[in-house]
Amino acid sequence: MTISDVATAERASSIRTSRPRHYAMTAPTFFAVEYAINPWMDTSVPVDTHVALGQWETLRQTYKELGHTVELVEPVTGLPDMVYAANGGLIVNDKAVAARFAYPQRAGESAAYAEWMTRHGYDVAETRHINEGQGDLLVVGAIILAGHGFRTQHQAHDEIAAIVEMPVVSLELVDPRFYHLDTALAVLDDTAIAFYPPAFTERSRTKLLELFPDAIEVTSADAYALGLNAVSDGRNVVLPAAATGFAEQLSDAGFRPIGVDLSELLKGGGSIKCCTLEVHP
């Protein structure tokens, strides 16, 4: 970086402000790769649940140290993917929507997360079409970016818009490695995002650049480290430690990247964001 780059980064960082967040997480107590429903999963690769638990605990501590609230959802035996709490549903604008999963192996998670929401005072709505919660439904300020193509069905987007009473922008995913929107796009604050253009159709890419002309575009190396599966509080961005290029882009844009290693959970096809259900106000 040149002196003027440093000055620019400093200016940018002074305008980035964090907001305390509210997250729900589920411990990987029963985490395993017993079936393969995305290209990251390989049932012949051994999984160390103990390591997964340690890495997940580090993530939880990181949020706490940043001053965020983390609530825990009770893991259920026989639901090895339940650690990916983002898929449990969508909570925003005082509304809660339960997930409807694409694969039968995860169907049982829906009731577990819906029950948690009910206990927290929400009147939980359901959709007729498949929606995999915050895996595909990302809140950016007053709008929702919604993925389709692999899991959440396009028809669910209108249902979601009607339930949460927010505009939904549909984005089509085309690469099976980036099967959920949160694997190909990271929300950085109410107006900033980062994304991996090859994961989207040309039309969706154009839409994103119209809405977010300053969007950060990440490299394949960072996208393949699931670098975009990150969680931001507006200033601190918790991201997979291996996504070093993206971390640098974030610093240049005034954010504070915090790398966390969730390599064991990557074996299930998820990372930081997948393990975090944000309870939006």
- Residues at the interface with ligand ARG (CB under 6 A): 37-38, 41, 81, 84, 86-87, 106, 135, 180, 182-183, 268-270, 274
Largest alpha-carbon pair distance within the chain?
55
Least separation, in Å, of the C-beta of 94 and ligand ARG? 23
CB of 24 to ligand ARG, least distance (A): 13
Q: Which is nearer to ligand ARG, 104 or 213 (CB)?
A: 104
Nearest to 227 by CA among 203, 210, 208, 249: 249
**Alpha carbon distance 89, 150 (integer Å):** 17
Minimum CB distance to ligand ARG smaller for 150 or for 255: 150
* Active-site hit among 68, 157, 180, 275: 180
Least Å from the CB of residue 180 to ligand ARG: 4
Nearest approach, Cβ of 165 to ligand ARG (angstroms)? Answer: 23
Whether the Cβ atoms of residue 240 and residue 262 lie closer than 8 Å to each other: yes
Cβ proximity to ligand ARG: between 86 and 168 the closer is 86
CB of 81 to ligand ARG, least distance (A): 4
With beta carbons less than 8 A apart as the criterion, state whether 200 and 206 touch: no
Which one, 16 or 31, has the nearer CB to ligand ARG?
31
| 154 flagged as catalytic | no
Q: Of 96 and 272, which has the nearer Cβ to ligand ARG?
A: 272
Smallest separation, CB 1 to ligand ARG (Å): 33
CA gap 260, 28 in Å, rounded: 16
Task: Say which of 68, 157, 274, 275 is annotated catalytic.
Answer: 274
| CB of 89 closer than 8 Å to CB of 96 | yes
Q: Are residues 260 and 240 in contact, defined by beta-carbon separation less than 8 angstroms?
A: yes
Q: Name the residue type at position 57.
A: E
Decide if 180 is catalytic: yes
Alpha helix positions (H), the chain: 3-15, 49-65, 107-119, 154-164, 202-211, 220-224, 244-252, 263-266
All residues at 6 or more sequence positions from 129 whose CB lies less than 8 Å from its CB, including other chains: 100, 152, 153, 155, 156, 159
Q: Yes or no: say if 195 and 173 are a contact pair by the CB < 8 Å rule.
A: no
Nearer to ligand ARG, 85 or 253 (CB): 85
Catalytic residues: 180, 274
